[in-house]
Amino acid sequence: MGTAEESLAVEAVDAINDIAGIHPGYRAAHAKGSLWRGTFTATVDAARLTRAAHMQGQPIDATIRFSNGNGDPHAPDYARDGRGMAVKFYLPDDTRTDIVALTLPVFFARTPGDFVEFTRARRPDPETGQPDLQRLGAFLGAHPEAQPAIQAALSAEPPASYVRCVYHGIHAFRWVDEESDGRHLRYRWEPEEGVAAIDEDEARSRGPNYLQDEMIERIERAPAAFRLALQLAEDGDPVDDPTAAWPGERETVIAGRLEITAPERERERGGDVLVFDPTRVCDGIECSDDPVLRFRSRAYSVSVERRSAAVGPAA
């Protein structure tokens, strides 16, 4: 990645910090989260679509991180916010691959430059503590493609649990099978228990860490599970634009089941740096040319350098 892209990655992290503040040791975005252990088992349909090692049907160990979108690690769980679900798969050859997903069905920026512009537009006014609505309105007027994601974020009620949300992989990937035939698709994690939300008053009454606390109590009782659904693209569907939804009637394939079994207490301790990067793919899975997807790895690198000052590769 060239100097211009590196500079833009720094600008992106700076813009996030301008909104949420600088919190040493934490991610720039999705700062508040919890780690869990799980096992993923792919379906026969997944193996037909890709030769990727974790999609061949044998149980695969996984690390899962649920998070709030805010860059402030002290923001309460009841705050109106998007939620994140990131999954790291540990492949048989000791490599790793990741899926990163959000409760938003689409993204609010088509390009990295748009992301920086929108994030700057959200920066609170020092006098009022609130965003400048005129500046936000100007951005939305120039970027109507951002409105579906923003409307989804504003209308979302607090979730009853992290495992009662649908999480969307907003980027497209190309799965390649044994014959090297490929198909573009998007990921979606669907909770086996179904979707459930609560109103804001109920969420507040449960406390600022209610999502974290609920997960601990829930997993102590029994595992929770998600289905990995794939929405398959057809000719003409925009595979490089994360702001564009595909038609709802597109074919959906269930690719596997993720079972969450226990808290993960070994990662992110003693200098361990854990990064979930959607561009970390393996043989049988290819990134699309979505510019936001391609940019994320560079932005994550900036965030990692700031939160950990770690030397060497993150896993």
Residues involved in catalysis: 30
Q: 87: which 2 tokens?
A: 């999954």
Q: Distance of CA 44 to CAs 169, 230, 255, Å?
A: 21, 13, 8
Instruction: Give CA–CA dist 166/85, Å, rounded.
Output: 9
Instruction: Give CA–CA dist 166/196, Å, rounded.
Output: 10
Selection from 94, 39, 101 nearest residue 315 by Cα: 94
> Which residues are CB-neighbours of 28 under 8 A, at least 6 positions away?
13, 16, 17, 20, 71, 302, 303, 306, 307
Q: 83: which 2 tokens?
A: 């939620």
> Which residues are CB-neighbours of 169 under 8 A, at least 6 positions away?
99, 100, 101, 186, 187, 188, 278
| SS3 label, residue 62 | strand
Report the 10 Å Cβ neighbour count for 1: 12
Instruction: Give CA–CA dist 101/168, Å, rounded.
Output: 5
